[in-house]
Chain A
Amino acid sequence: MDPARKRLIRLVVALTAALLLAGALAYTSFSASSSAVTPSQLLTSAHAGQSYQLTGKVVNGSIVHVGDGIAFRVRDRAGTASVPVRYTGAIPDPFRDGREVIVNVKKDGSTFVGEKDSLVTKCPSKFADPKSTSAQPA
């Protein structure tokens, strides 16, 4: 076969494969993703069994130890709407009253059950506004 034609065929095959893989990647990322929601959004539109990525602040005084896990409430960053969360798994060191958290939850009756080990509290490596007092490494 003509070498130039052979190279063209190789290029077309490679590009087609790359496109197919990129398409699969894009499709699965949308189907496997969790919607990021605030407590007030969760209160109005949560469906049982669906996974959500809840973001908000821990309500002061709401953290209690329950069995092997904890229970706490998460409220809107700027607002008072809050939802109860039950969680078991690793608790990040910075987790405490008033801290910003992200946790993957599913609705279970009137409460929300956190996915094991999904709780993330503001990490010191994250950017913080220069006016804030949190530390932030490079």
Chain B
Amino acid sequence: MATVGQACLLISLGLCGYGAVASVYGARTGRDAFVLSGRRSLFAVAGLVTVAFVILEAAFLRSDFHYTVVATHSSTTTPWYYRLAAMWSSQQGSLLLWVFLLAVWSSVAILLLRGRLRDVAPYATAVQLGLGAFFCGLLVFAAQPFETVAVAPSEGIGLNPLLRHPSMMIHPVMLYSGYTLFSIPFAFVVGALIVRRVDAEWIRATRFFSLAAWLCLGFGIILGARWSYSELGWGGYWAWDPVENASLLPWLTGTAFLHSVMIQEKRGMLKVWNASLVLATGILAILGTFLVRSGILDSIHAFVEEGNTIAWAFTTLVCTLVVISVYLVVSRRNDVLRSEAHLDSMFSREAAFLANNLVLVGVAFVVFWGTFFPLISEALTGKKAAVGPPWFDQYVVPLVLILVLLSGIGPVIAWRRTTPGRLWGTVRGPVIFSAAVGVLLALFTNAATDLQSMILFVVATFAIAVAVHELWRGMRARQLMTGEHAPRALVSLVKRNRRRYGGYIVHIGVSLIFIGVAASSAFQHTRDVVLKPGQSARVGGYTYTYVRPTAKIEQRAGELERITLGSKVRVVHDGKQVAVLSPTRGYYPTNAPALGVLSRYFIGDSTSEVGLKAGWRRDLWIAEQPDISNLLPIVRKGDTVFAKAAAGGVSERARAIFLAQALNGLVARYRQTAPPAQFRIIVSPLTGWIWFGALIVLFGGFTAAWPNAGAARGLSRARYTARVARDLGRA
């Protein structure tokens, strides 16, 4: 099957090249047969890479260690659902996932949009196939997923324990879906610029895919944050790590694009800006993959071997895309990209959206500069240097404050022109409400001790109040007109203008996320303590007591999966028990041949499972680092005994029995005589609001992206018109 998989990739590479050339040739000469052939090439590539994808996933599922990538990233003790995810924990598997998603999403887009933008679509197909050719080329020449060995090892190395988390099964798929979906508006704007047809049609045609890309990427980012919070054992959800930043960059520019396209649709303005934004978003999506997969920024961290060919390939691709994009925008700026109208007033929705865009792009620039600073510094000064989270916070926090404020003003300010008095009349209610909330927070909580957080609480409340007020007003108007009950009137209202009201729901969700981030960052209590069983520590008004150690052996498919050492920790507040938390650390066996029989169970990879009681008001969080130093001398002595027994020719069965007894004995010993353990304890207010806000964003995004009946009818009409035009052309 490996040969079939490799053949699929090889044929896909050829088809990508052929399809791209055929599409462009067909479009330039007006020969529809070539255009159709190019489109079919894309569908064929989607089919072939799907076959390759399924073959590799099947190899992971059945633990076929003939495949090098399976042997190095999975094992028989890895649960089946994590074996599926183990595929994209590898370089080769993740690149295959990328090209699979690219081919599938592109095919869906080209299929759904057939009959629309008939002059643009062949170039868009060529761009998609060109990107497909790049990734297929990497899979064929640089990172081969179907490399096999004649004699399979008896066991694989296993999935990195840190990645054994439900979020990690979906997070990469969501991120890559976001990246590949953003390539669709990117490809269409390239096509639109080539044929000089930059009206709002390409925006309308690709809106669904832009929104889907934004949603997938946002959901992927949140899943990554959740994984970090509950798995990594440091208690945070964002660290301005280059890999995190890489996914944030296209999301920021994509958010700006989703707002600014409304101005082009409504007023025919900002064409250069919109084209540039979507081109930048597409390139940043490639750059996101580049950062994770090439390791170019890790060079400062010394994580990557020298001579990484993938880094050079990605650098060439990104540079090529930048040059083409700049050329297209500059060469079209004075004709098809010329604005049809100008900004009439700074007191207008256009101005508010433009300001929102400038802030979003400003945040993206800060993140870009900070992420790439190691390279910039090395290029300019010859010295490697990096900036840390405080530098990012210094710029991003004030910009976010402005952004949240604008998200409250934007939806209610009139198009073209308004007056300060009229604007005040619209926002008076929400302003008074948010000011009152601010006063109450200052009087009854310690929120005022952190000025930035306090401002954010007030502006986020304002943005929520505006959105809720708009929904309320619309619902009341509908009730008066139709006599519907309130819930029905609300649903009808949203259904009649999904995009607008979906956007308001997204604003509510984003504001809740920012409230959660501000509260959990500024008012979090964190303490690192070493406790013996029976000892307590007080953190943020809560008393954490280490009640007793826990230890157990966990098995899967008849094999030892991990040894879990941990504790029961009682949490008391105002004399009442509020939670019993169970932080643990799982020790996974390693196959390192140099280690002794017992050592391999304690010196391999280990990972924290945090104890967490989540709540609306605060999260109680704890992670433990058990001290196994008193076990290690016994483990080493056991290694010697097993080595002697092996030399003495003890049977496999006897060895297995002795090993089970030894491990059970060690686990029991830890339970009885556990030394003091190190704990990180966190009391974090409103962290739950981040995850709840993300769910609201997701709901709002779905509402906005869901095609309404009118759009579906429009699509059918467009297809019918295209069919008639084609038939007339033949006649």
Q: Tell me the A residues contacting B by CB distance below 8 Å.
A: 3, 7, 10, 14, 21-22, 25-26, 28-30, 32-36, 53, 55-56, 65, 67-69, 77, 88-94, 96, 100, 102, 104, 117-118, 120, 122-130, 133-138
Residue of A nearest to B605 (CB): A94
**What 12 additional pairs, Cβ within 8 angstroms, besides A90-B234, A126-B295?**
A3-B342, A26-B369, A33-B386, A77-B302, A92-B232, A92-B233, A93-B162, A93-B233, A125-B292, A126-B301, A136-B292, A138-B97
B686 at the A/B interface (Cβ < 8 Å)? no
Do A124 and B304 touch across chains, with their CB atoms under 8 A apart?
no
B436 at the A/B interface (Cβ < 8 Å)? no
Do A137 and B171 touch across chains, with their CB atoms under 8 A apart?
yes
Q: Complex Cα distance A16/B544, Å?
A: 55
Do A90 and B678 touch across chains, with their CB atoms under 8 A apart?
no
CB-CB nearest 4 A-B residue pairs: A138-B172, A135-B160, A127-B295, A90-B234
Do A137 and B163 touch across chains, with their CB atoms under 8 A apart?
yes
Q: Complex Cα distance A135/B74, Å?
A: 9
For residue A92, give the distance in angstroms from its CB to the closest CB of chain B. Answer: 7
Enumerate chain B residues within 8 angstroms of A91, measured Cβ to Cβ.
233, 625, 678
Enumerate chain B residues within 8 angstroms of A35, measured Cβ to Cβ.
383-385
Residue of A nearest to B234 (CB): A90
Q: Complex Cα distance A123/B163, Å?
A: 10
Q: Complex Cα distance A100/B366, Å?
A: 28
For residue B657, give the distance in angstroms from its CB to the closest CB of chain A. Answer: 30
Interface residues on B, range: 35 or more
Q: Complex Cα distance A108/B324, Å?
A: 52
Q: Which of B160, B243, B298, B358 has the most CB of A within 10 A?
A: B160
Do B365 and A22 touch across chains, with their CB atoms under 8 A apart?
yes
Do B384 and A135 touch across chains, with their CB atoms under 8 A apart?
no
* 10 A-B pairs with C-beta separation under 8 A: A25-B369, A26-B369, A56-B302, A68-B529, A90-B528, A93-B233, A93-B607, A123-B241, A135-B73, A137-B85
Do A100 and B92 touch across chains, with their CB atoms under 8 A apart?
no
Given the interface pairs A65-B678, A91-B625, the reply to whether A138 lies near B292 with Cβ below 8 Å is yes
- Choose one: B176, B295, B298, B308; the contact of A138 (CB below 8 Å): B176
- Choose one: B302, B376, B625; the contact of A55 (CB below 8 Å): B302
Do A29 and B232 touch across chains, with their CB atoms under 8 A apart?
no
- Choose one: A34, A36, A100, A137; the contact of B303 (CB below 8 Å): A100
Do B390 and A102 touch across chains, with their CB atoms under 8 A apart?
no
Do B94 and A136 touch across chains, with their CB atoms under 8 A apart?
yes
- Choose one: B89, B91, B343, B395; the contact of A124 (CB below 8 Å): B89
Residue of B nearest to A57 (CB): B302
- Choose one: A25, A69, A90, A123; the contact of B243 (CB below 8 Å): A123
For residue A72, give the distance in angstroms from its CB to the closest CB of chain B. Answer: 14
Do B94 and A137 touch across chains, with their CB atoms under 8 A apart?
yes
Do A88 and B302 touch across chains, with their CB atoms under 8 A apart?
no
Do B530 and A68 touch across chains, with their CB atoms under 8 A apart?
yes
- Choose one: B85, B293, B358, B678; the contact of A127 (CB below 8 Å): B293
Q: Complex Cα distance A124/B390, Å?
A: 24
Residue of A nearest to B74 (CB): A135
Do B386 and A53 touch across chains, with their CB atoms under 8 A apart?
yes
B635 at the A/B interface (Cβ < 8 Å)? no
Enumerate chain B residues within 8 angstroms of A92, measured Cβ to Cβ.
232-234
- Choose one: B92, B162, B362; the contact of A94 (CB below 8 Å): B162
Enumerate chain B residues within 8 angstroms of A136, measured Cβ to Cβ.
89-91, 94, 292
Residue of A nearest to B242 (CB): A126
- Choose one: A34, A56, A117; the contact of B234 (CB below 8 Å): A117
- Choose one: B161, B302, B370, B530; the contact of A67 (CB below 8 Å): B530
Q: Complex Cα distance A2/B382, Å?
A: 49
For residue A97, give the distance in angstroms from its CB to the closest CB of chain B. Answer: 8
Enumerate chain B residues within 8 angstroms of A96, measured Cβ to Cβ.
603
What sequence of 0s and 1s flags, for each residue 337-374 of chain B, a beta carbon within 8 Å of any chain A beta carbon?
00000110000000000000010001001100110011
Q: Complex Cα distance A124/B85, Å?
A: 14
Residue of A nearest to B381 (CB): A30
Enumerate chain B residues within 8 angstroms of A25, measured Cβ to Cβ.
365-366, 369, 395
Per the 8 Å Cβ criterion, residues 238-267 of B in contact with A are 241, 243
B665 at the A/B interface (Cβ < 8 Å)? no
Q: Complex Cα distance A68/B386, Å?
A: 28
Do B294 and A29 touch across chains, with their CB atoms under 8 A apart?
no
Q: Complex Cα distance A26/B395, Å?
A: 12
Do A34 and B171 touch across chains, with their CB atoms under 8 A apart?
no
Do A137 and B89 touch across chains, with their CB atoms under 8 A apart?
yes
Q: Complex Cα distance A56/B303, Å?
A: 9
Q: Complex Cα distance A65/B308, Å?
A: 37
Enumerate chain A residues within 8 angstroms of B342, measured Cβ to Cβ.
3, 7
Do B390 and A32 touch across chains, with their CB atoms under 8 A apart?
yes
Q: Which of A7, A28, A88, A133 has the most CB of B within 10 A?
A: A133
Enumerate chain A residues within 8 angstroms of B163, measured Cβ to Cβ.
124, 135, 137
Residue of A nearest to B366 (CB): A25
Q: Complex Cα distance A125/B175, Å?
A: 13
B72 at the A/B interface (Cβ < 8 Å)? yes
For residue A84, give the distance in angstroms from its CB to the closest CB of chain B. Answer: 19
Enumerate chain B residues within 8 angstroms of A90, measured Cβ to Cβ.
233-235, 528, 680
For residue B323, give the distance in angstroms from its CB to the closest CB of chain A. Answer: 22
Enumerate chain B residues within 8 angstroms of A122, measured Cβ to Cβ.
303
For residue B218, give the distance in angstroms from its CB to the closest CB of chain A. Answer: 16
Do A130 and B143 touch across chains, with their CB atoms under 8 A apart?
yes
B391 at the A/B interface (Cβ < 8 Å)? yes
B305 at the A/B interface (Cβ < 8 Å)? yes
Enumerate chain A residues within 8 angstroms of B234, measured Cβ to Cβ.
90, 92, 117
Enumerate chain A residues within 8 angstroms of B278, measured Cβ to Cβ.
none
Do A134 and B295 touch across chains, with their CB atoms under 8 A apart?
no
B563 at the A/B interface (Cβ < 8 Å)? no
Enumerate chain B residues within 8 angstroms of A102, measured Cβ to Cβ.
301
- Choose one: A32, A55, A65; the contact of B301 (CB below 8 Å): A55
Residue of B nearest to A119 (CB): B234
B320 at the A/B interface (Cβ < 8 Å)? no
Q: Complex Cα distance A128/B157, Å?
A: 15
Given the interface pairs A29-B369, A90-B233, the reply to whether A21 lies near B627 with Cβ below 8 Å is no
Enumerate chain B residues within 8 angstroms of A120, measured Cβ to Cβ.
301
Do A137 and B293 touch across chains, with their CB atoms under 8 A apart?
no
Enumerate chain A residues within 8 angstroms of B304, measured Cβ to Cβ.
127-129
Q: Complex Cα distance A30/B385, Å?
A: 8
Enumerate chain A residues within 8 angstroms of B85, measured Cβ to Cβ.
137
Q: Which of A33, A104, A117, A127 has the most CB of B within 10 A?
A: A127
Given the interface pairs A29-B391, A94-B605, the reply to whether A133 lies near B157 with Cβ below 8 Å is yes
